[in-house]
């Protein structure tokens, strides 16, 4: 029986990580992939997680998807405590709570089936009713109503990724996890895929978490969490939400296009994250500007009004 944790996690929070730790051990080495990571994702939110190779973002995604187990800390998803999961709990969780879109289409798709048959497959395994009707609905949602009976070898990479998104939604998950979903397509196609995620988030109300190294793409999402050295280091917040911009656009009968030429500084602000132990990771560009390296000593002072913290390089 899956444990419910409504008294600890707020009702509007679907993902809650508190001091999350993941350690990989072998006979000769121990690697700490996550070092006390804190993160909250609200129900119905569309957000992105960014980080360099080795930052811990893929490790976090694997734990959110039920593919790996945390070593310590707290991880609650949709009221379920993943640290207390058994094998049957994980099977139920992956079947009913999360959908996964991989960068490598081969992990999502069966090449000799049509798009329609691919989307029906997870529903067939679950024994769901009205499989054909839902598969047709989802393929229409991702813009493939004219390609339902096409085999995958007859489709472009962008079309295959759209089929993968439809497959991930087949069993009506509460959370959609996307691992570098635009990593193998061109800029124009990646913009179209991002717009599909935005539309699904709006129309279906599903929580979507995208993991990507592409900061330029991620900054067209309302909230972006940056991970460095296994911890949450900063959040990039959109000043005006995508929904507000879309409403204004609809009012003027305009067409929505993802604009990569827009100055990111005009629409976003980056906030450093202070964890529960009082640790603060400064943005990399700040450290570079001050020529501060890891392990250096810095001077921290309160402003005269005691409403600001100032960091100075120590001589």
Kindly report, residue by residue over 84-99, the tens digit of the pLDDT: 999 999 999 998 899 9
Below-70 pLDDT ranges, the chain: 1-8, 105-106, 217-219, 239-279, 283-284, 294-295, 315
pLDDT for the residue 2 = 44
Strands of 26-171, DSSP E: 30-42, 46-50, 72-77, 80-81, 98-101
pLDDT for the residue 1 = 41
pLDDT for the residue 297 = 76
pLDDT for the residue 109 = 87
pLDDT for the residue 253 = 61
Its sign, for the CA torsion 139, 140, 141, 143, is positive
pLDDT for the residue 283 = 67
pLDDT for the residue 294 = 67
- Please give the structure tokens belonging to residue 188: 């124009």
Q: If you compute the radius of gyration of the chain from its CA atoms, what whole number of angstroms results?
A: 21
Q: Which residues pair with 176 in a beta bridge?
A: 99, 208
Task: Summarize pLDDT for 40-66 with one digit per residue, the tens.
Answer: 999 999 999 988 888 889 899 999 999
Burial class of residue 26 in the structure, from the number of CB atoms within 10 Å of its CB (0-12 exposed, 13-18 middle, 19+ buried): exposed
- Please give the structure tokens belonging to residue 195: 């717009």
Burial 207-239 (b: 16+ CB within 10 A, else e): bbbbbbebeebbbbbbbbbbbbebbbbbbbebe
Give the C-alpha separation, 209 to 61, whole Å.
9
**Of 310, 238, 302, nearest in space to 270 by CA:** 238
């Amino acid at each position: 029986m899956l444990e419910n944790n409504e008294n600890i996690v707020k009702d509007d929070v679907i993902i809650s990580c508190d001091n999350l730790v993941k350690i990989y051990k072998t006979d000769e080495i121990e690697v700490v992939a996550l070092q006390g990571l804190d993160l909250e994702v609200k129900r119905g939110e569309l957000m992105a997680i960014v980080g360099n190779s080795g930052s811990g973002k893929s490790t976090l995604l694997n734990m959110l998807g039920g593919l790996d187990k945390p070593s310590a800390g707290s991880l609650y998803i949709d009221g379920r405590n993943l640290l207390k999961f058994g094998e049957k709990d994980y099977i139920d969780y992956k079947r009913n709570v999360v959908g996964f879109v991989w960068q490598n289409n081969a992990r999502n798709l069966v090449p000799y089936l049509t798009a329609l048959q691919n989307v029906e497959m997870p529903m067939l395994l679950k024994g769901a009713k009205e499989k054909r009707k839902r598969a047709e609905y989802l393929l229409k949602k991702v813009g493939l109503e004219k390609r339902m009976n096409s085999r995958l070898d007859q489709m472009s990479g962008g079309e295959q990724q759209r089929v993968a998104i439809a497959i991930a939604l087949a069993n009506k998950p509460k959370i959609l996890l996307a691992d570098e979903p635009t990593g193998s397509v061109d800029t124009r196609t990646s913009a179209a895929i991002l717009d599909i995620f935005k539309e699904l988030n709006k129309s279906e109300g599903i929580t979507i978490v995208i993991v990507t190294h592409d900061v330029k793409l991620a900054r067209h999402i309302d909230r972006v969490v940056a991970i460095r050295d296994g911890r949450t280091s900063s959040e990039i917040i959109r000043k005006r939400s995508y929904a507000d911009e879309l409403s204004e656009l609809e009012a003027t009968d305009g067409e929505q296009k993802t604009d990569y030429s827009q100055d990111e500084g005009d629409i976003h602000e980056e906030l450093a994250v202070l964890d529960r132990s009082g640790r603060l990771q400064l943005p990399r560009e700040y450290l570079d500007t001050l020529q501060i390296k890891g392990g250096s000593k810095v001077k921290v002072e309160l402003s005269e009004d005691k409403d600001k913290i100032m960091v100075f390089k120590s001589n």
